Amino acid sequence: MSHSKRESISSLSDLEAREAAEILLSIRTRVENSGFSTYAEFERIKAIADEAISAFEQFQDYCEHHKAAECKILALSSVTDNDKTRLGYQSIVVDRTATAIMGLPPLDPADWKIDGIFSTLSTLRKFIGVVVEAGSRVIIDFILIRFIVRLLPEEEVLFVLPELILSKSSGGRIAYVHTIDGEKEYITGLVGFTDYVVHYIPKADTELKASSVKIGYRDLDTLQGALDEESVLLLIEAKSVQDRLEGHLPQAIAECLAALGIIQQAQANSAGDESNSIYQGFVLTNGPQWIFGVVEQRSIRSNKDDRLCYHTSMIDIDEGGVQQFGSMMQILNYWVRR
């Protein structure tokens, strides 16, 4: 039996989204008038309709102020290199070594007992298949847990928040990316989540905030209320080893732009200014292979190529052994705190 891919409101064109929203609005009206809205299935349909309509209405309201722009909503998981022009970024590959990136001396594996971690990881790899993303996540989870337990000083706090929603279509903000390319103008609504958000808090006196994070946040819009100037967020996108890792850089960059868009919208609302450059770090990994990057956005509304993504080339711990693994862990250590 074959299954076709289900379309979501975020993957539709502007015209398709309008038609879908009108259909779902009709469904909602019929459900509300049917007298059966107490049934779980009808309630589920109603929730889906509400969310889809909310997404379209928010996006439509924003685009009404920029009638000349080409508007589109994209699911983060569907972003490809074909969307580079409308998202207005350029990628710059930097030297992948820790020394070149951070000006740090090479890591001595003995400093963090890297040998023991690498040995356990090598044993684990013999029993875990990573041809699917779920297998890769087992490896990633192990590395993050070992990092927290063995490498993180006691006075520091770090939480891993799986599948955090960066931009959602209801009950929060949609992240917008506004790009000017000569006479053309693009407005892109980005909707979706990232596989992991690592929330780093450098001081133990933020225990109250840390406790609230531990309870659990589902979206960035509410999480940022627990952030202070010293907090750091790192986005991690997981893939399977069958995927070409570099091919997923557009998705990782889009996730960073969504996060930056939400943060800058909040800054504009509170201070009336969104013009300062801000940065978002990310990691793209399938377990044995890692790419580290950072995205700079000067404002939500930017000229083409004003958004910059600096990223390493791929680091393969299978090829480089324990020394390469130690270098990767050193970069991860820096990226978590940067």
Q: Give the per-residue pLDDT at 54.
A: 67
Average pLDDT, the chain: 77
Residue 252: in which H helix or E strand, if any?
helix 249-271
Q: How confident is the model at residue 44 (pLDDT cuts 50, 70, 90)?
A: low
Q: How confident is the model at residue 258 (pLDDT cuts 50, 70, 90)?
A: very high
pLDDT digits 0-9 by tens, 51-106: 666 666 667 776 777 676 788 888 899 999 999 999 999 888 886 554 455 555 55
Give percent of the chain with pLDDT exceeding 90. 24
Mean pLDDT value across residues 303-314: 87
Whether pLDDT at 7 is above 90: no
Q: Which of 10-14, 65-69, 86-90, 121-125 has the lowest mean pLDDT?
A: 10-14
Q: Give the per-residue pLDDT at 39.
A: 54
pLDDT digits 0-9 by tens, 157-207: 788 889 988 887 555 577 888 898 888 889 888 888 999 999 888 775 555
Q: How confident is the model at residue 109 (pLDDT cuts 50, 70, 90)?
A: low
Residue 259: in which H helix or E strand, if any?
helix 249-271
292 three-class SS: strand
Burial of 82 (0-12, 13-18, 19+ CB in 10 A): exposed
User: Sign of the CA dihedral 248, 251, 256, 257?
Assistant: positive
Phi-psi sector, 182: left (phi>0), alpha (psi -120 to 50), beta: left
Chain-centroid distance, C-alpha 213: 18
Whether pLDDT at 131 is above 90: no
Whether pLDDT at 150 is above 90: no
Do residues 53 and 32 lie in contact, with contact meaning Cβ atoms separated by under 8 Å? no
Mean pLDDT value across residues 151-160: 76
User: d(Cα 4, Cα 113) in Å, to the nearest integer?
Assistant: 48
> Which among 146, 145, 170 has a CA at the least distance from the CA of 160?
145
Q: Give the per-residue pLDDT at 105.
A: 55
pLDDT digits 0-9 by tens, 318-336: 888 888 898 888 889 888 8
User: d(Cα 318, Cα 167) in Å, to the nearest integer?
Assistant: 35
Q: Give the per-residue pLDDT at 49.
A: 65
